A and B are shown apart, each in its own frame.
Chain A
């Protein structure tokens, strides 16, 4: 079936909340009903038709074209289906995502996948701060699912995350994996200062040695970590986009921390490539 395509007619002047444009919300609606939906636009509620042209029929497969940073809350509370966005998106992309896949062919704002509990977010670009984090006041950040960012991410990636995986092909900002409860963060380029600050459990895997590690992390030496072998094998089996992990071996420098907290988290700094044996 043809994907349901929303194409922006204008470049929005104000914040445009598109949380309603999910397979869950649009299921069973005909095109007229969809066009008459009212979206929060700045302080007002505006009919969808005035902002988007709508084509296609398959509400399980949504596409948003000519997107920009003013579009926020893409895929909020989504449980199934796919959303593909061509262009940049604003804040809280995929917040409270339960299932399905969101793909962004552009950059995303801060709070990507905040409080998500399943599904997958692929960002073919950069992301802002607080990727996979919990919103202020929440005990936990993301509790399940996968976030993949081909570019770089901002500060406090995975802050308070409880479970799930964040994979960043580029750089990560400061305080990567801060206050983590569990879960896995992989950064294939440099990470900023204070990675893992305040983490209780969880794993931060850094492909490059960071310039700074907090004093509250203690070295366990260079080891072959069996878990890395399992993780990289499983990831490389997940599709071509993860084939880079075939090159990674199990050897890593393991640091335990944050000793100021529980001290059961770990930072694994990968030694080099091609060490699978």
Chain B
């Protein structure tokens, strides 16, 4: 996969969050959304290019071409439209894709280019004042789809444990959990009986099909949630999976957690394999 990081700043964190949440909307899976995006972390004013509070956000896609399509569209419709925001590159080196370079035309000829310290910024006059957007943002190789499954007695047990796991994972830099709330309620397998579908329900982990298919679930398991992690490198994903699994395991069987597993799709979905036992050593 390919990824980029962007930094959104605003008058205060509340409005930076509004822009970031708008951008990451409908960006849970590359299967149908075109990209996967989520907030990486909040940034202090001292960490942002313009000295305002900000949000670091990562966007993952299957190719640079997909990112080239998704980034200007999402920044233009979600960040530029949010009051008081500015948008900057979070990765400065590597291959560059257009951001302000595309959006500048919204300025209808009144846009101004400024180069500061070798970085080009576009000043686009808008109704709230000025929308500042960096010309380009860098693209880097990345890994998508590191995952583990939480097998629990009930949906409530699974949800409680996964919420804690996602909180812990979100503390790790360089990773995101793009699905709503950081977890997937409808984990999929690759392919389908229908030719037009690239992915379909993972029936061996569906509790309602335990008696109908060659199920992976034992009798007591009534709910399964999947946590999917995208990251900039293997180490970050390893660490995120480790803290996530440990958080889930801290609940134990008494609180309804029965087993941890992972979707490995026959080991054929991508070149990276995350072996749970190895990660936890």
Which residues of chain A have a CB within 8 Å of any CB of chain B?
Answer: 144, 163-165, 182, 184, 201, 203, 223-227, 229-235, 238, 264, 266, 276
Contact count A vs B, C-beta below 8 Å: 50
Given contacts A144-B115, A231-B114, 8 further A-B contacts (CB under 8 A): A225-B130, A226-B129, A227-B130, A230-B86, A233-B49, A233-B50, A238-B117, A264-B112
Give the interface SS of chain A, mostly helix, strand, loop or mixed.
Answer: mixed
Q: Which residues of the other chain, B, contact A276 by a CB distance below 8 angstroms? A: 51
Q: Which residues of the other chain, A, contact B115 by a CB distance below 8 angstroms? A: 144, 163-164
Q: Which residues of the other chain, A, contact B236 by a CB distance below 8 angstroms? A: none
Q: Does B24 contact A (CB under 8 A)?
A: no
CA distance in complex: A264, B49 (Å): 25
Give the interface SS of chain B, mostly helix, strand, loop or mixed.
Answer: strand
Interface pair B116/A231, CB less than 8 Å apart: yes
A-B contact pairs, 22 of them (CB 8 A): A164-B115, A184-B114, A203-B114, A224-B129, A226-B86, A226-B130, A226-B131, A226-B132, A227-B130, A230-B50, A230-B86, A230-B116, A230-B121, A231-B114, A232-B51, A233-B49, A233-B50, A234-B49, A235-B116, A264-B112, A266-B112, A276-B51
Q: Does B96 contact A (CB under 8 A)?
A: no
Which residues of chain B have a CB within 8 Å of any CB of chain A?
Answer: 49-52, 86, 110, 112-117, 121, 123, 129-132
Q: Which residues of the other chain, A, contact B129 by a CB distance below 8 angstroms? A: 223-226
Interface pair B114/A229, CB less than 8 Å apart: no
Q: Which residues of the other chain, B, contact A182 by a CB distance below 8 angstroms? A: 113
CA distance in complex: A231, B114 (Å): 9
Report the minimal beta-carbon distance from A251 to chain B, rounded to whole angstroms. 12
CA distance in complex: A234, B121 (Å): 12
CA distance in complex: A144, B130 (Å): 24
Interface pair A227/B123, CB less than 8 Å apart: yes
CA distance in complex: A163, B120 (Å): 11
CA distance in complex: A246, B116 (Å): 16
Report the minimal beta-carbon distance from B56 to chain A, rounded to whole angstroms. 17
Report the minimal beta-carbon distance from A186 to chain B, rounded to whole angstroms. 12
Given A223-B129, A224-B129, A225-B130: A230 and B117 within 8 A (CB)? no
Interface pair B117/A234, CB less than 8 Å apart: yes
Interface pair A227/B114, CB less than 8 Å apart: yes
CA distance in complex: A182, B112 (Å): 9
Interface pair B52/A229, CB less than 8 Å apart: yes
CA distance in complex: A223, B128 (Å): 11
Q: Which 4 A-B pairs have the closest CB atoms?
A: A233-B51, A226-B130, A230-B50, A234-B116
Report the minimal beta-carbon distance from A190 to chain B, rounded to whole angstroms. 24
Q: Which residues of the other chain, B, contact A227 by a CB distance below 8 angstroms? A: 112, 114, 121, 123, 130, 132
Q: Which residues of the other chain, A, contact B50 by a CB distance below 8 angstroms? A: 226, 229-230, 233
CA distance in complex: A144, B121 (Å): 15
CA distance in complex: A201, B50 (Å): 23
CA distance in complex: A235, B50 (Å): 10
CA distance in complex: A223, B123 (Å): 15
Q: Which residues of the other chain, B, contact A203 by a CB distance below 8 angstroms? A: 112, 114
CA distance in complex: A232, B50 (Å): 8
Query: Which residue of chain B has the shortest Cβ distance to A238 in the bound complex?
Result: B117
CA distance in complex: A164, B132 (Å): 18
Query: Which residue of chain B has the shortest Cβ distance to A165 in the bound complex?
Result: B116
